[in-house]
Amino acid sequence: MSSTLEQKALEYHKAGTPGKVAIAVTKSVGSQDDLALAYSPGVAAPCMEIARDPALAYEYTAKGNLVAVITNGTAVLGLGNIGALAGKPVMEGKSILFKKFAGIDSFDIELDETDPDKLVEIIAAMHPTFGGINLEDIKAPECFYIERKLRERLSIPVFHDDQHGTAIVVGSGMLNAVELTGRNLADVKIVCSGAGAAAIACLELLVDIGARRENIFVCDSKGVLTKARNLTGEKADWAQDTTATTLSDVIAGADVFLGVSGPGVLSQADVQSMKKQPIVFTLANPEPELRPELVREVAPDAIIATGRSDYPNQINNALCFPYLFRAALDTGATTINQEMKRACVTALAGLARSDVRFGKDYVVPGLLDDRLLPTVTPKIAQAAIQSGVARKELGMTDYFERLEALGKHLL
């Protein structure tokens, strides 16, 4: 980060009221009568109704439009294990994105706890407050366990965005990149650098939408995941029976490079050894595995995506998580399931394809595209309803119009 940008960021966060979020009152409290309704004695009425029927909390409280953004600070952005408190600016930023793009309120919650079972207990105990839980910046492999346990226990959506958010946007971009280059996803050879939460989730989703596991080669910091390494856990699922040991060994003839690791991992020679019109997703942030301009020097026809906003094709989780939670909250979904994630992938891909800019420098929509909320969200909501996890039915025409109006207000 440049010193100029760093200073601007510090001034931005410090100016006026410190931080980036505050709480707004949504009802009139201008009179004694208002106060009697907002608090004692009037507040007893909704309390008793909710005690009688817990589902009424969605009608009488903010629960139905409130998401918890929770971290323990063990894997914050590209900064690593900097602790819960140091991760708070990121969580506040996430709250801004929820509000800006989907009109969803959220509380950022930073938990000073690294024991996975204790984290599960703490988060589960808080769930009555929220309509959904967004887990953020929790390191692997604990994040897999924590999300799984919470999903088993709770009847509200629990979503680890570092895994699934990244995977969804990668999936949408990959569908379009494959189409633009005349490939079939089932036939492409994919080489992935990285075997953490985001990488594993990306690979699982790519298989779900048509890629074949036997065509995917994964590398971690020690080299290729192979059967000979006797791996355990999630990594073992991606071990190949191969004598290749390095990224350079397996990338020859590959159609796709997916980087979810760190800077400098990919070389120009590696790119040259790939097939013509390579698909190169270098997503390490802020410094990618290989800079796009260096990829372009040796592969002018490559389709390149990064995690950065200063290059085309930014793979940004904000393209999906606001709309997934908006749809989940509006349908009263008990979970964000695979059908909803798949609907988000295809909706994002379709939105990019419908744009006149669709091409090698535009395989995913831009973050500020005002079509995202009214176009992507209803398709996710429909998937929730059709897959049986929704507790509410929605008229899609009315829902589209409501979201379109909300989007104009937000953007």
Q: Which alpha helices (H) appear in 103-223, and where do they start and end?
A: 116-126, 142-153, 161-180, 197-208
User: Contact 201/173 with Cβ under 8 angstroms?
Assistant: no
Residue 273 sits in the same domain as residue 169 = yes
Residues 133-167 pLDDT 10s:
999 999 988 999 999 999 999 999 999 998 999 99
Please indicate, yes or no, whether residues 228 and 351 belong to a single structural domain of this protein: yes
65 among annotated binding-site residues: no
Chain position carrying tokens 């507040």? 43
Within-domain flag for 144: yes
CA-CA distance, 317 to 164, in Å (whole number)?
A: 9
**What is the tens place of the pLDDT at every residue in 10-34?**
999 999 999 999 999 999 999 999 9
DSSP 191-226: EEE--SHHHHHHHHHHHHTT--GGGEEEEETTEE-B
Pair (144, 170) in one structural domain = no
Banded pLDDT at 368 (limits 50, 70, 90): very high
In this structure, the answer to whether residues 169 and 152 fall within a common structural domain is no
Those residues whose C-beta lies under 8 Å from the C-beta of residue 357, and which sit 6 or more positions away, are none
Question: Of 111, 136, 156, which residue sits at a domain end?
Answer: 156
Given the residues 14, 39, 222, 227, the one annotated as active site: 39
Nearest alpha-carbon partner for 290 in 272, 267, 321? 267
Q: What pLDDT does 324 receive?
A: 98
Residue 56 within a domain: no
Q: Indicate the average pLDDT of the chain.
A: 96
Residues in the chain: 411
Is residue 310 in some structural domain?
yes
Percent of the chain with pLDDT over 70: 100
Same domain? 328 vs 368: yes
**Does residue 186 form part of some domain?**
yes
Q: Tell me: do 269 and 318 sit in the same domain.
A: yes
How far, CA to CA in Å, does 107 sit from each of 20, 67, 93? 12, 7, 11
pLDDT at residue 78 greater than cutoff 80: no
Residue 182 corresponds to which tokens in the numbers above? Answer: 């005349």
Q: Does the pLDDT at position 2 exceed 80?
A: no
Same domain, 173 and 309: yes
* Residue 4 maps to a domain: no
Return the CATH number at 170: 3.40.50.720
Q: By three-state DSSP, how is residue 133 classified?
A: strand
Spatial distance between the Cα atoms of 220 and 223, rounded to a whole number of angstroms: 5
Instruction: Report the distance separating Cα 385 and Cα 263, nearest Å.
Output: 42
**Are 363 and 180 in contact, with CB atoms under 8 Å apart?**
yes
What does the pLDDT average to over 384-396?
Answer: 96
Q: Clarify whether residues 193 and 115 are in a common domain.
A: no
Sheet holding 158-160, edge to edge: 105-110, 66-71, 132-135, 158-160
Lowest mean pLDDT among 87-91, 123-127, 138-142, 246-250: 138-142
In whole angstroms, give the CA distance from residue 71 to residue 85: 9
Question: Residues 377-404: what's their mean pLDDT?
Answer: 97
Per DSSP bridges, beta strands 279-282 and 303-306 are parallel
- 63, 88, 94, 149: the active-site residue: 94
Residue 234 has pLDDT above 90, yes or no: no
pLDDT tier for residue 221 given thresholds of 50, 70 and 90: very high
The two counts, helices (H) then strands (E), for the chain are: 17, 10
pLDDT at residue number 167: 97
Of 312, 316, 317, 315, the residue nearest 302 (C-alpha): 312
Q: How far apart are the first and last CA of the chain?
A: 28
Phi, psi of 296 (to 5 degrees): -65, -30
Residue 1 falls inside a structural domain: no
Rounded CA separation 358/313 (Å): 11
Degrees, nearest 5: CA angle 178-347-366: 80
* Cα separation, 328 vs 351, whole angstroms: 20
- Residues 148, 186, single domain; the answer is no
Is 369 annotated as a binding-site member? no
pLDDT at 97: 97
152 is a domain residue: yes
Asked if the structure places residue 242 within a domain, the reply is yes
384 shares its domain with 299? yes
Tell me if residue 399 is catalytic.
Answer: no
Name the band, by pLDDT with cuts 50, 70 and 90, for residue 1.
low
Q: Are 367 and 314 in contact (CB under 8 A)?
A: yes
Continuous segment of H or E residues that includes residue 68 = strand 66-71
Among this protein's residues, is 323 annotated catalytic? no
The answer to whether residues 238 and 379 belong to one domain is yes
Q: Is 215 marked as a binding-site residue? A: no
The reply to whether 162 sits in an annotated binding site is: yes
Strand 256-259 with 190-193, pairing: parallel
Is the torsion defined by CA of 137, 142, 148, 150 positive or negative? Answer: negative
Range of the domain at 141: 12-30+62-156
Question: Based on the structure, what is the number of domains in the chain?
Answer: 2
Residues 362-375: what's their mean pLDDT?
96
Q: Residue 286: its pLDDT value, please?
A: 84
- The 3-state DSSP class for residue 22 equals coil
Per-residue pLDDT tens digits for 96-129 = 999 999 999 999 999 999 999 999 999 999 999 9
If asked whether residues 187 and 126 sit together in one domain, one would say no
Please determine, for residue 382, whether its predicted confidence score (pLDDT) is greater than 70. yes
